[in-house]
Structure 1
Amino acid sequence: MSYNNLLVEVEDRVVFLTINRPRALNALNDQTFEELRHFFSTGYRECGDFHGVLLTGAGDRAFVAGADIKEFLDVAEQGNGEQLSRRGQEVFFLIERFHRPVIALVNGFALGGGCELAMACHLRVATENASFGQPEVNLGIIPGYGGTQRLNQYIGKGKTMELILTGDRIGAEEAHRLGLVNYTLPRDEAREKALELLRVIGSKGPVAVAQSIRLVNAYYGGDEGFHAESAAFGETAKTEDFREGASAFIEKRIANFRGK
């Protein structure tokens, strides 16, 4: 299979899936979303029999530093914010509900859509330089790819409120302490730990693994919160505050929000 923004390699029955936009800190743009959709819906079949997927970002600086803000602005102008949010949620549901384990090897920034992508994976192993956050409020918008729902599942209401409302980041050690990541290790050890987990899971019954993934997800299976998130994302994407916040981000200046 051939993708522009994803690298796909298979070794020892593990699929290494790398988001390959290092100059953009692996930011999620439209094409990357569509390639992720293709891989997790049908493209994986070309990989043959495999134990699981190791998902990471190219380079040392970022797993995924967020979404493409310029594309966000275009969507805001067209009034398609809710559709954009639902598209991201649908792709991340494909990952969350994938029948083989997907482990995020989080190397560097996992912010905004990058944090949401990591949370859609079944397990997370972080390098010591990793950082996590949902900084969307800095742009006058909200998390739109499941962040308001999954972060709550992992770390609880109080800390979720704090991180989303302040837009603050947390480091790998705190993410581990809070339960957002399973392991925090030096880079080489983090990669080996992720592979070890995939090897261990791969030694178990594939049907039992697939059913376990399905049933654990079923506990959190209500879609109402996700639909509400998409609707609210669409509303905030229409505001003057979002246009100001996104423009300020691109222009590297402080946003002047007016509550409109």
Structure 2
Amino acid sequence: MKPVDYKQHRSNRSVNSRVHFLIFHYTAGNFSSSINALTGPNVSAHYLIPDITDPSYLKANHTEQEVFNLVDETQRAWHAGVSQWGNRSNLNDTSIGIEIFNQASFTEGAFTFPPYHCEQIVAIEQLALNILMRYPDITPTKVLGHSDIAVGRKSDPGPMFPWHALYLKGIGAWFDEATRNNFLQRFNTCGLPARSELLRLFKTYGYDVTGASSDNGFQQLVRAFQLHFRPENYDGVMDTQTAANLAALVSKYFPG
């Protein structure tokens, strides 16, 4: 028998990629602890972006900004956990996960979110653009934070993550300000849409609304959205600004 022919008659149209999502996380730990965790038995990610000012990074003899590929993209990394976006769950199956050094903390009932280092942001841009070029199924609304896909359970990558700046580079989604301002004027004049309409908008955009039937669940949903699309105020309170941002996003990416 002749050897298997792996080169001729390749099917390249009736196939698709495993990868449909790009998910950003923060480590909440230093370089040393993050490496230990992400190469251990319980959690992993495809990439790790450290901070050049982290003492444990410097102690490991790293002096320049690097990006570490911890899991091959063809493999399923364990970074998303229980997750949902649109009609897909268990997003480990269909995503690439990027962990970024950031020592966000939760103490005495309050979060502290430090800024990301400017060299990290450059590394994020370069890596994300390369991934998006190679995986066309990752459309703008599928570039997400852990908090988007695990509503109420996660807060990363946090409100200091440069979502809008990344959008301007061609990474992820953002609303058009003129459309947002039109919705804002309408809601300031006529009042907020009914909660049922707001839930429809959240669901249309991709958020999991199954836990939002209670007031607390709805607040967690609003906060998850604000962490991404209204980071200057992520108190979980639905107001006209948040509603206008949401309506403008749906209008832009899911018209009609």
- Give the structure-1-normalised TM-score: 0.31
- Asked which structure has the greater CA Rg, the reply is 2
Greater fraction of residues in helix: 1
Greater fraction of residues in strand: 1
- Give the structure-2-normalised TM-score: 0.31
